């Protein structure tokens, strides 16, 4: 019985079926979505940990893999992320009371001067789907805001995004400021004009070419 719920939920997230009212994907029109299936599963005794590990993380891994192979694109990925978020709403009380353990805390923001957020949002949703608590600082995030949050969550990992060649240079001073207050903090950067070589040159620990790479790196440091 549990496996049936988990397979249905995984399918809802993989194909972006948010709830019963959602018309997408066409082949699942009129069927319950991630919202309803998660509620049913919990009521039937499926544990929150099973839902997270065996349905949500499993599905988002498939979504990330398909995205990295150009088999799906941003709109489909956003729908999958929204379906995952609809499920997570039912799990959040269990995270809050400690029933389900987060893999870690991920502080995320687009660097100051930059107003782009699609890539950042996708990464945040993927990382949350991988079992992390995500603290999204938004766009145009000043150095002081990153530092403040790192002080508040000293064990967190930080993700910094920049989508312009004119703003990518703003990442280095953020990293330097973070290192002054928390030298041990792991930092990953991402965005179209960046590269692994650039990440290394400014003191970042990693570069994520796409959301799946970012999640894979976080998994590697959490294990």
Q: Identify whether residues 53 and 146 lie together within a single domain.
A: no
Inter-residue contact 77 to 85 (CB < 8 Å): no
Q: Identify whether residues 138 and 55 lie together within a single domain.
A: no
pLDDT in the model for residue 126 = 86
Q: Identify whether residues 87 and 156 lie together within a single domain.
A: no
How many residues belong to the chain?
Answer: 223
pLDDT in the model for residue 65 = 87
The residue out of 66, 96, 126 marking a domain boundary is 96
pLDDT in the model for residue 223 = 64
Inter-residue contact 35 to 77 (CB < 8 Å): no
Q: Identify whether residues 164 and 211 lie together within a single domain.
A: yes
Exposed, middle or buried, 24 (CB in 10 Å: 0-12/13-18/19+)? middle
pLDDT in the model for residue 118 = 85
Tens digit of each residue's pLDDT, the chain (223 residues)? 678 999 999 999 999 999 999 999 999 999 999 999 999 999 999 999 999 989 998 998 899 889 888 999 889 988 998 999 999 999 989 888 888 888 899 999 999 999 999 889 889 988 988 889 999 999 999 999 999 999 999 999 999 999 999 999 999 999 999 999 999 999 999 998 999 999 999 999 999 988 889 999 998 998 6
Q: How far apart are CA 5 and CA 161, in angstroms?
A: 36
Q: Angle 61-64-69 (CA atoms, 0-180°, nearest 5)?
A: 125
Q: How far apart are CA 68 and CA 60, in angstroms?
A: 12
Q: Identify whether residues 91 and 109 lie together within a single domain.
A: no
Q: Identify whether residues 71 and 137 lie together within a single domain.
A: no
Q: Which domain does 133 fall in, by range?
A: 105-222
Q: Which two tokens stand for residue 99?
A: 């029933």
Whose structure tokens read 């993927």?
Answer: 126
Q: Identify whether residues 34 and 110 lie together within a single domain.
A: no
Q: Which two tokens stand for residue 154?
A: 């000293």
pLDDT in the model for residue 1 = 64
Q: Identify whether residues 115 and 175 lie together within a single domain.
A: yes
pLDDT in the model for residue 191 = 93
pLDDT in the model for residue 200 = 97
Q: Identify whether residues 78 and 115 lie together within a single domain.
A: no
Query: How many domains does the chain fold into?
Result: 2
CATH number at residue 199: 3.40.50.280
Q: How far apart are CA 34 and CA 82, in angstroms?
A: 9
Q: Identify whether residues 56 and 126 lie together within a single domain.
A: no
The residue out of 96, 131, 157 marking a domain boundary is 96
The residue out of 71, 96, 121 marking a domain boundary is 96
Inter-residue contact 198 to 210 (CB < 8 Å): no
Q: Identify whether residues 120 and 217 lie together within a single domain.
A: yes
Give, for 145, the enclosing helix (H) or strand (E). helix 143-152
Q: Identify whether residues 109 and 217 lie together within a single domain.
A: yes
Candidates 7, 26, 6; CA nearest to 16 is 26
């Amino acid at each position: 019985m549990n496996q049936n719920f988990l397979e249905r939920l995984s399918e809802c997230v993989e194909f972006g079926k948010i709830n019963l009212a959602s018309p997408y994907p066409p082949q699942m029109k009129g069927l319950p979505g991630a919202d309803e299936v998660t509620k049913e599963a919990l009521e039937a005794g499926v544990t929150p940990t099973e839902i997270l590990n065996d349905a949500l993380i499993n599905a988002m891994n498939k979504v990330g893999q398909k995205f990295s192979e150009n088999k799906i694109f941003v709109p489909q990925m956003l729908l999958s992320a929204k379906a995952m978020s609809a499920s997570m709403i039912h799990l959040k009380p269990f995270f809050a009371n400690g029933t389900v353990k987060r893999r870690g805390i991920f502080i995320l923001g687009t660097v100051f001067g930059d107003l782009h957020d699609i890539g950042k949002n996708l990464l945040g949703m993927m990382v949350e789907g991988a079992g992390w608590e995500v603290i999204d600082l938004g766009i145009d995030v000043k150095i002081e805001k990153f530092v403040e949050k790192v002080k508040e969550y000293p064990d967190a990992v930080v993700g910094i995004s920049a989508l312009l060649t004119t703003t990518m240079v703003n990442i280095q001073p953020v990293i330097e400021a973070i290192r002054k207050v928390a030298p041990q903090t792991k930092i990953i950067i991402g965005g179209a004009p960046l590269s692994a070589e650039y990440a290394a040159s400014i003191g970042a620990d990693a570069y994520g070419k796409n959301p799946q790479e970012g999640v894979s790196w976080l998994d590697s440091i959490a294990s």
